[in-house]
A and B are shown apart, each in its own frame.
Chain A
Amino acid sequence: MTVSRSAMRFARSGRTVTALGLAFAALVSACAPSPPAPKWPNFGGDAHRGKLLVGRYSCGACHQMPGIEEADGLVGPPLATFSRRTMIAGLLPNTPSNLVLWLRHPQAVTPGNAMPDLGLTDAQARDIAAYLYAKP
């Protein structure tokens, strides 16, 4: 009961965000069209690859991330309990599709914030999201 309701909520917000994402893609006309609405909880991301990407992109320079070497940054929020976070950047509800949107285009979501656009591909963002959600 609870599970199905939250699943519906995720599906609904997923559609909304996909629409937003499509509008965004049309605006910048640089991104490929958004993929179909991702399925929660596993939407094609690989948590193991995500962990490697987290190291390569130095996420830990700004975020505390237990299990990642030298990930002790305090510029942005700690990411240990990301799966239980309610909002992303205080702005987006914490859904997989919103997380992918944020990871790929933080400067489009919140212009002028400290997190740079890292140039992540959609697949890379999904892998990182899968890693963040794999933590309890």
Chain B
Amino acid sequence: MTRDSRHRPQQLIPSRRTLIIWLLGVASVLAVMGLGALAVVEGGLFDATASTPDNPIAAVGIHTTFIRSVQVRAAHIQAPASFSPAQVQAGLADYDASCADCHGAPGISRASWANAMTPSPPYLYDAARQWRPRELYWIVGQGARMTAMPAWSESRSSDQLWSLVAFLEAMPYLTPDEYARMRPRARGTGAAEPRLSEPHQRAGR
């Protein structure tokens, strides 16, 4: 040990030898992580089934990532100041035909197969209390990757998307009875048929 190093302020300036050891350590950790990632991707270690729930830590990470992604990307959207009853009614009809199978409705459960989806499509009774209108517009229009949520802007006009948002905003104020009365099939009008064909009419509805 030299006189210099003995008098050098310790910790502040590491010796070259210490630096090399540290760099080697970091490099080997990165190498192990890379091999681990390779094993997961190429070795089939990742469980890609829908029948097992997400790892809790991964689930929180994915969910937070989704929330922030939506908040940032919807920030520029200008939502209407208010929605008309006609928009709510049109949105309800569309929701009932195209959304309720996966997301349920006031007093109405999802289709049984929706309980077997991972991630689980949430009930949306209070979605308007968790998202701003422009964020709901973004989610409905653009969908959610690695869930089964499609980008509905593919088959809906902007007005139709806003009508769906209008309904989501109104849903917390609707009783299950009111929802049932407002359903087009319950009224038998056949109005506001969705543009997508719907081969899966649910029995008893």
Residues on A with beta carbons closer than 8 Å to the beta carbon of B107:
107, 112-116
Contact A56 B116 (CB under 8 A): yes
Q: A112-B177, A113-B107, A116-B108 are in contact. Are A69 and B63 (CB under 8 A)?
A: yes
Contact B109 A116 (CB under 8 A): yes
Contact A61 B123 (CB under 8 A): yes
Contact A52 B53 (CB under 8 A): yes
- Interface residue total, chain B, C-beta cutoff 8 A: 26
Binds B, one of A5-13, A33-41, A70-78, A90-98: A70-78
Contact A58 B176 (CB under 8 A): no
A contact residues vs B (CB 8 Å cutoff):
52, 55-58, 61-62, 69-70, 73-75, 107, 112-119
Complex Cα–Cα for A115 and B60 (A): 26
Residues on B with beta carbons closer than 8 Å to the beta carbon of A116:
104, 107-109
Chain A CB within 8 A of B112 CB: yes
* Most chain B beta-carbon contacts within 10 A, residue among A56, A58, A73: A58
Complex Cα–Cα for A90 and B6 (A): 76
Residues on B with beta carbons closer than 8 Å to the beta carbon of A62:
123, 125-126
Complex Cα–Cα for A94 and B63 (A): 34
Q: A114-B106, A115-B107 are in contact. Are A74 and B129 (CB under 8 A)?
A: yes
Contact B115 A57 (CB under 8 A): yes
Contact B121 A58 (CB under 8 A): yes
Complex Cα–Cα for A69 and B109 (A): 20
- A58-B120, A73-B126, A75-B123 given; name 4 further pairs at CB < 8 Å: A58-B121, A70-B59, A70-B63, A75-B125
Contact B126 A75 (CB under 8 A): yes
Q: A61-B123, A112-B177, A113-B176 are in contact. Are A69 and B106 (CB under 8 A)?
A: no
